[in-house]
Chains A and B, each alone.
Chain A
């Protein structure tokens, strides 16, 4: 009886998990399917799910209209570059907050998080003028710096929570053995925190990859990432859903593949310390 109940519960939970997973994945699947439809099929009512005339014309059109690789290259440079720099700043910062806290550490952490509470558009005019004055409009360094700063609070917060899970005793033991501060961070702390650092980096890369407000407003062509590429395919006059879907599929493909490869690290990182 008890066994039956657990089996029933497990089947139910599994089914529920699959349903929730499918619901979350559905928009991506739908975008993918739409990208292979003709514009007319993309708009048809009732919607056609699988039985339509499959075509790759949208991908051909998107390729001929814009230089996908230039946009993709900018996306990679900006999201990876900004967050690698973020780690260089974030790891020592999170170390000091986790292992050498002061009275003000909690306040500092909360203050950092509070900077994320203001909508970007609130400071848009100021940032735009600063960028214009410094000649950073449509410049990779400029927009990269902004993405780095925008993600820094999240990056430090995540690293801080991972570092807090590491027993201080291990670090103390290393110190007893005469490890310097730098050696302690590089040889003791980092290897233990690799899953946490990896998942933090990955999450921040995804956030930067999808960042649309600043990248759309502060770049035009040289530094424009894939968000600008997608923005050129919607249209208030004329059918565009199939082409827009093809552009979106191309834009999310790299990050999706990266996500699949790092799934293990990501899950391990996100649930790190949860079982304790």
Chain B
């Protein structure tokens, strides 16, 4: 028995050794969105040019992925060679030295072509720590037919006052049409993404320059005093449990007049295969309040290399390929320009073929350009991030705050009580974390 085991183990080791002598295997952790899945199908282009590199994909849902890669990188587990991470993680992990700075992306990579807003969100101390694969912002999606029926015309850059007026007029609860659908489900990446971005346009901020929580300011109160009554009057029932997917389903089913959410939704709501209202959708910039900031966020799924990887050079080759101009041409050639990952490069928005194929392209670009992760709101802040604060404690803090705001929307708590509770929990968490003495 022992001999058998030993010889089996030996054979396995030999097999493993002989394989690795031929090809280096890169393990890539990705999120399961459409653009990433498309990339997996197109990797022949990369492996044909790099026959000595094999790719091993680990595709996971966003929250599971975040949990896994965070565990791995924090313990230097070394299970992954390339990580897909968002603009929230990059500044934190870059500062901690967990990521390899991307200095050798190749001569024809053209770093300066990356959209400035996206690039600044992925840069720490002047070094790029992740290469953007696709970028998104948020915007208004609305039903042209309902807008006509209400006798209104959506401006390219609406104000919150106009949104309220339009929502009131479009709502027809007897017919099951609700003027506006917005996120209400509690979570730092759910209702707090939308509300933080909206609060920016109302002049609110998460923290002042000394990291003091700001939920006791009139700006936050104005934000919630707008959001809660609007949703009660014109929102769908049970809005406090709606996230992106629930609103997408409602909108595609023809139940929403307007929906303010991620630009990536544009391709879903205008796809006749999944939307009943595909030919009736219009787009506009996220609203503002005349304070110089719009209520749109900024996010980029990006590729980064963990400091624990032993295959840095090969990993960098892959990152460079996947985020290059050449890759967009590969996608365009095989799947058409409309399917090219958006929101990362200036050159894409100058490409006539792309602009023709993607009617929402200009709106996406304008939305991304309008967001500035280093100056997200009217007043100065000590943090980076538009719809989040790039500190490790944020996930926990914002989920607590999100629960309070969701309760205010559900009507189990008043706006004032929710703000007071948010202020108290954030203050205590920031004290514990040592930001405030």
Contact = CB atoms under 8 A, between A and B. Distances in A.
Interface of A: 38-40, 43-45, 64-66, 128-129, 132, 137-138, 216-217, 220-221, 224, 228, 231-240
Given A39-B274, A65-B37, A221-B56, A128 B71 contact: yes
Interface of B: 27, 29, 32-34, 37, 40-41, 56-64, 67-68, 71, 75, 77, 79-80, 189, 243-245, 248-249, 252-253, 262, 264-265, 268, 273-276
Contact of A239 (B56, B79, B243, B245): B245
B61 A129 contact: no
Contacts of A40: 252, 273-276
B58 A216 contact: no
A39 B274 CA distance: 7
Contacts of A138: 79
Given A40-B273, A220-B80, A238-B34, A232 B61 contact: yes
A183 to B, nearest CB: 21
Contacts of B249: 43, 239
B17 to A, nearest CB: 16
A129 B71 CA distance: 10
Contacts of A237: 33, 62, 244-245, 262, 264-265
A38 B273 contact: yes
Contacts of A234: 61
Nearest to A230: B61
Residue of B57, B60, B62 most packed against chain A (CB within 10 A): B60
21 contacts: A40-B275, A40-B276, A44-B253, A128-B71, A128-B75, A129-B75, A132-B75, A216-B68, A220-B29, A231-B60, A231-B64, A232-B59, A232-B60, A233-B61, A236-B62, A236-B63, A236-B189, A237-B244, A239-B268, A239-B274, A240-B245
B248 A221 contact: no
A240 B33 CA distance: 10
- Counting chain B CB atoms within 10 Å of each CB, the highest count among A38, A40, A44, A66 belongs to A40
Contact of A220 (B58, B62, B189, B245): B58
B276 A132 contact: no
Contacts of B80: 220
Nearest to A67: B57
B268 A238 contact: yes
A163 B243 CA distance: 53
A234 B138 CA distance: 22
Contacts of A217: 67-68, 71
B25 to A, nearest CB: 10
Contacts of B253: 43-45
A66 B33 contact: no
Contacts of A45: 253
Nearest to B41: A64
Contacts of A64: 41
Contacts of A238: 33-34, 245, 248, 268
A138 B72 CA distance: 12
Contact of B79 (A39, A66, A137): A137
A230 B238 CA distance: 28
A237 B64 CA distance: 14
Contacts of B244: 236-237
